[in-house]
Structures are given as C-alpha cells and as structure tokens.
Amino acid sequence: MIHRSTFGTSARRDRIERIELSLSNGFSASVLSWGATLQSISAPDARGHFDSVVLGYTSLDDYRCAHGRLGATMGRYANRIANGRFEIDGVAYQVECNEGKHAIHGGPEGFDRRPWQVARIVDEPNGPQVRFELRSPAGDQGFPGAMVMAVTYALVPPGDVVITYEACTDAPTVFNTTNHAYFNLAGEGSGSVLDHEVTLFADRFLPVDDELIPLGEMRDVTGTVFDFREPKPLGRDIRSDDAQVRLGRGFDHCYVLSSSERSTTPRLAARVLEPTSGRTLEVLTTEPGLQLHSGNVLNGRYGGASGRAYRQSDGFCLEAQHFPNAPNVSHFPSTVLRPETVYRSMTVYRFGVDDTPRV
C-alpha cells in the first residue's frame, strides 16, 4: 500500500512529498522527496509491538536546519575528500569544502539538502516502491560532469527495506553515495543505543588522522577495540583510551568489506540486536565499505518525531559506501565514474526479531 501527502514547501517553493510504503503485515517505511530521505521505518519487536526504529523529524524546517543528515541520500561524494581536491586523468579539481578545509557529503549544498523528483511509484505484488531522481549540473559544488542520479526505496516482505542507487555522467567525475539513517532498535527517541549488540563482518578498518581523513592503511581489527566480529555492545569500548576512538569521539570509521570494487549481489556486512525489544537489523550491501558511526554528532538541539531531543549516541549509522578520500588514495577501490559506465549499487536493511530468552 502507498500513501502520498505534502510534507512542506522548500525555500524555492518546491512541494516536498512524504510517501508511506506499507506491507500487509504492518511493516512500513516513510520517505521524503527532500534529500530522498528515509524518515521512518516501523518494525515489530518480539512481542509484536511496532515502533519507528530510525531517527527522523516531523517538519521540513528541522531537516533543513539540523546538521545530522538524518536518513538522507548523500552525494555527490559521501564522506570526506581531503582538502576538497582530487585529480582525474591528470586534471586537478577543487570542490567546495564544508568541514574546515575538507569536503564532506558533497559540500555545503549536497544532495541531502535538495528536493528530488518523484519519478515513479509502483505497488508491485511483492511490495511497494518509490523512485526519486535528481539532476546535478556540471560544476555542481565544483564536481566535474553533469550527472543524473536515482534512488529507489522498495519494501520486500517480511521486513526488508531495499535501497537501489543508479547514476550516470557525461564526463569523468568521482561519485560515492550512501544512506545516512540513524537507527535505534529500541524505538526512535528511546535514548542511548550503546547497549545494542553489534556484529561487523569485516577483518579490517581504516584508521584516520586528527581530522578524520583515512591514513591510507587497512588495519587488522584483531586485538583492537574495533573488533566486532563477535557480537559486542556498541558502548563496551566507546570510552576506551584508544587513540582512534578519541579522534572520532567514539566510532566514526569505515570497515573494509572488500578491498576491490563493489560486488554484484548484496552480501551480509553487519548484524545488530537490541536485547530488550529483541529487534534485529541486518545490513547487506554491494559496497566495499561500511562506516560505523556511533551518533557522536547528535547534540540535543533538535527534537525528533517522539518529541524528545536526540543526544549523543541516541542513534547509530551503518553507512554502506566506498572508502572516504578514495579519490586521493590509489590503492582504495576507485570512485571514478565515466560516461560509458552506469553506477549501480544496492543496500538492504533487513529487520527481524530474536525472541531468545535472556537472563
């Protein structure tokens, strides 16, 4: 089932839509044409009680003014580019910087801060879906090439949110995208996520410098606080004296799922369990990296859908993407997109329950 409504009006008088997708079992998700944003996901706990499990706002003004990029689609380049500079085929480019001297998430007016066109809405037999499209002109935020990007949200029974990305360009450029949802499996606005038990199916992570730019190393997680290969509460080591944790003010690091290009089919990258509700989340993706972000930047300035302020570690991100600063690190998977290639990527958020009794 699909329900469309008006969410607000942009500063340029664009009508911003809210599209609610739902399945017959009650599982649902709401998305906005502002930033192609995932606003809410309603999923059951082990007792059958439904709550939204992603952080989101109820007004367009909050999405425009807040800086957490809650649930939005990132572009042209998710995560960081050092000094906002890179080269393609020997030609140097400078893009707009918005994190000190560095660029992050596409610049000050990235894809998360724009109205997208609702290109298609279909209620397929196996679940509803909506496709958003955005045109980005050559020189947008300093990036070369005119680009068209599309993101499709689809619900698949019993509890999958499938996000498919496509992009093409008329000149060589760099491109990296992800969804920036903050999850709280106990329910949006319920408080800290530090008790969530996290498993990451990755043997290496990317250590960073004091400005959160990757050093270029793919470091083994063995013997470090970054080892989540077995289930571990997110908060167990978040206050450790580890130098990398201090730099990130918690976890804000990319895990290496593959040192090569994206895969053709989604593979399991992470699993999370919230022990009280029994809700689980699995992340499957075709991308080579997964950014773990422990909600370090949430500062309590804005109230969410529950009417409660979002404070540090009230949500966590698992952002499937290519590596930060890949345009400047030759041994990272390439993020160069050329006119003869269509970018395609898929990430699946799979919700379920674990009703195993707990002592």
| pLDDT tens digits, 303-340 | 888 889 999 999 999 999 999 999 999 999 999 999 99
Phi, psi of 279 (to 5 degrees): -65, 145
Query: What is the model's pLDDT at position 124?
Result: 84
Mean local confidence (pLDDT), 38-46: 98
Q: In the predicted model, is pLDDT for residue 119 greater than 50?
A: yes
Q: In the predicted model, is pLDDT for residue 300 greater than 90?
A: no
What confidence tier does 358 reach under pLDDT thresholds 50, 70, 90?
low
Query: What is the model's pLDDT at position 354?
Result: 93
CA neighbours closer than 13 Å in the CB half-sphere of residue 156? 12
Burial of 153 (0-12, 13-18, 19+ CB in 10 A): buried
Residues carrying an active site annotation: 180, 319
Query: What is the model's pLDDT at position 259?
Result: 76
| pLDDT tens digits, 271-288 | 999 999 999 999 999 999
pTM for the structure as a whole = 0.96
More confident call, 38 vs 262? 38
Which residue from 113, 36, 39 is spatially nearest to 70, judged by alpha carbons? 39
| pLDDT tens digits, 63-115 | 988 777 999 999 999 999 999 999 999 999 999 999 999 999 999 999 999 99
| pLDDT tens digits, 187-227 | 999 999 999 999 999 999 999 999 999 999 999 999 999 99
The neighbour count for residue 243, using CB atoms within 10 Å, is 10
Which residue from 109, 100, 75 is spatially nearest to 211, judged by alpha carbons? 100
Domains identified in the chain and CATH numbers:
2-353 (2.70.98.10)
Q: In the predicted model, is pLDDT for residue 359 greater than 50?
A: no
CA dihedral 214, 216, 221, 223 (to 10 degrees): -100
Mean local confidence (pLDDT), 157-163: 98
Q: Do residues 27 and 42 lie in contact, with contact meaning Cβ atoms separated by under 8 Å?
A: yes
What confidence tier does 247 reach under pLDDT thresholds 50, 70, 90?
very high
Encode 14-40: b = buried (16+ Cβ within 10 Å), e = exposed: eebbbbbbbbeeebbbbbbbbbbbbbb
Q: In the predicted model, is pLDDT for residue 24 greater than 60?
A: yes
